[in-house]
Structure 1
């Protein structure tokens, strides 16, 4: 049991680190003044921010490698009930976050104009399909699925559209199946970066996370294991750069080259974390991220609710969110640094809540 707990420490740290970065990326003081590494690539390309979401999926798969043994002992019926219940709840929570605060101008916000898919919804779907694939098709089947999904997605995107934001096959699929009213409009027109078709390759991020966790459990924490994870990550990263020449690295349509790049980096990151935390036993710095990693879903939901409430409260000619960002931070720290400090303080408030929950042994799971 001790070894299992130690492996979970690396997992909690990676999960907490990813969540911390996600909160900072999602809540700048102003979207107009953000340092370049905290921007998503506008279209083709890659930034540090583009690593955050796929890493969260990778961690979901990593955790799945520990829970799958329990699922196998439950039997098929209990397994399906557990997976479908968790999928439904996470998807529903994600949808309700977009609908929140439910009322606009004194009237109930119409469901017909509410976005259906998003970050939590993608996590739910990827978790569901990856669980089913691994449970029923085992490791070999999951590997075959991953190859077919990535190659097949490239073929679909090439055959039924181009690689522009307006003309790709993913947006065409979403407009047909979801409808413009239920899609993200942040690009100035209906385009959903977490739509249906682009969910297919993102399942692979979870599957590779599962393989990494299973590999660690099977081979143990030693230098050979770390070296193999690093080499696998380097090979996948190199392959991604090659595939980029044919199918450009792109987070918003989750291209196959983007999947290989992100899982390659994640394999190297988890290898470094296991080396530092488990082999070198350097753990004095880990608690900060471990706190967030123990209640990731709840803290992520709270961050969305907190930000929405601040945006919903009018203050002067702006919202409480904008007023605090400008008057408390940006007016004397400067636009860019003040915007970053607002995000950091916002994240630290949530960390404080996570810290309190950990001290009280309160862990909320779906």
Structure 2
């Protein structure tokens, strides 16, 4: 624990906390706008959450793979691929859970954990094979430009549209519409195959930034200035690129990758200044708790949500819906009731994570 960078743990924990909150409103009919995703193009605060987790994966890899060299690259690569495969299978099983609810012929293949697994594997392979930072930077931007080129040149008259984008066409061909997300009104998966390119670049950028900023452990004020410059530069480039290549989370466009990476880099810099340099860390416990077991906490939240919706009933009503209507809506107005429900649910998951934290248990997935 002595070698851990507390600001990274807090950023990771904050990200998981927000992931659970935005995923569990009391009712999707009553959600505050900042807690909703952009309908298509654009970026809300909620759209920063998932890329933040990918960025932190990159930061963590810059620490855990610090001793990577030619002699241990293959064993490390095998571990990365194995871990990615396990995460993908867990994501698939979570989509299916509680199993009797969805027939396997209609099972959604992709999802949040599956996206994490694929980018973990791809970024891990690239990091294991490429040692030079300059070449890794070129590789990250090559992924972003390749994604853009494929979308733009093979997407027809409306390359960044919901129904016409190449990513949707690829997923329809590879897995079929019955195995895709339908929340947009048509089969389209925001965690589909093509978006793996730009989202893997997000992990690489996190790795590159972490590798350079954390060379001597906790960054100094000088390195924080570099971090601020990187943040502003990425945001500036993304806003210029946005003119012809829209910032879009469902497509995970390159402009979205750079925009969110820039903002998250800035947030991390602020956390370093407050927590690691000024040692103002008494407030960090709730996030350290989630940060110690991030994936386990997220997986638990999905399991509990599905139990509340599909298994536990009060009469003919799900426990999830009954609790919101008969407890939270009786106490607060609709939107605040929905938000409070999410906070209480997140706190329930946090209590389990806190028990693990106090026991010093880290569930490695």
Bin of the TM-score, shorter chain as denominator length: over 0.9
Measure the CA separation in 2 of the matches of 1:70 and 1:324: 50
Task: Summarize the alignment of residues 31-46 of structure 1 with structure 2, pairs less than 5 Å apart.
Answer: 31-46=28-43
Cα deviation for residue 69 of structure 1 reads: 2.6
Question: Cα distance, 1:103 vs. partner?
Answer: 1.2
- Match status 1:357 vs 2:344: no
Which residue of structure 2 aligns with residue 332 of structure 1? 331
Shift of residue 199 of structure 1? 1.2
SS of alignment partner, residue 45 of structure 1: coil
Counterparts of 1:173-322 in structure 2, within 5 Å, are 173-220=170-217, 221-312=219-310, 313-322=312-321
Among 86, 89, 96, the alignment partner of 2:86 is 89
Shift of 1:47: 0.2
**How big is the shift at 1:316?**
3.9
Please give the per-residue CA displacement for 1:31-67, whole angstroms capped at 9, x wherever unaligned.
0100000000000111000000000000001100111
Q: Paired residue for 1:122, among 101, 115, 126?
A: 115
Contact 2:37–2:46 (CA<8 Å) still a contact in 1? Answer: yes
How far did residue 70 of structure 1 move?
4.4
CA RMSD of aligned residues (A): 1.4
Alpha-carbon offset, residue 73 of structure 1: 7.9
Contact 1:134–1:141 (Cα < 8 Å) also in 2: no
Determine the structure 2 residue equivalent to 1:150. 144
- Within 5 Å, which residues of 2 pair with 1:74-113? 75-104=72-101, 109-113=102-106
Determine if the alignment matches structure 1 residue 57 to structure 2 residue 54.
Answer: yes
**Cα offset, 1:265, TM superposition:** 0.6
Give secondary structure in 2 for the equivalent of 1:218: coil
1:219–1:225: 8 Å Cα contact kept in structure 2?
no
What TM-score, normalized by structure 2, do the two folds share?
Answer: 0.95
Task: Please say which of residues 312-321 and 205-214 is displaced more in the overlay.
Answer: 312-321
Change (3 A) 1:116 1:74: farther
TM-score, normalization by structure 1: 0.95
Deviation at 1:267, TM superposition (A): 0.9
State which of 126, 130, 140 in structure 2 corresponds to 1:137: 130
Distance in 1, Cα, partners of 2:261 & 2:356: 31
CA distance in 2, matches of 1:222, 1:116: 44
Give, in whole Å, the separation in 2 of the partners of 1:244 and 1:72.
38
Asked if the contact 1:329–1:338 (Cα under 8 Å) also holds between the matched residues in 2, the reply is yes
Quote the Cα distance in structure 1 between the aligned partners of 2:73 and 2:255: 34
1:19 to 2:12 alignment: no
Cα deviation code 1:248-290 (max 9, x no counterpart):
1110100111001011011111111111111111011111100
State whether residues 72 and 79 of structure 1, in contact with CA within 8 Å, keep that contact through their aligned partners in structure 2.
Answer: no
Contact in 2 for aligned 1:118/1:194 (Cα 8 Å): yes
The corresponding residue for 2:168 is 171
* Alpha carbons 2:137, 2:208 under 8 Å: kept: no
Contact 1:12-1:294 within 8 A present in 2 as well: yes
Q: Distance in 1 between matches of 2:263 and 2:36?
A: 18
Deviations 1:99-119 (A, max 9, x none): 101113xxxx43221111110
SS across alignment from 1:286: helix
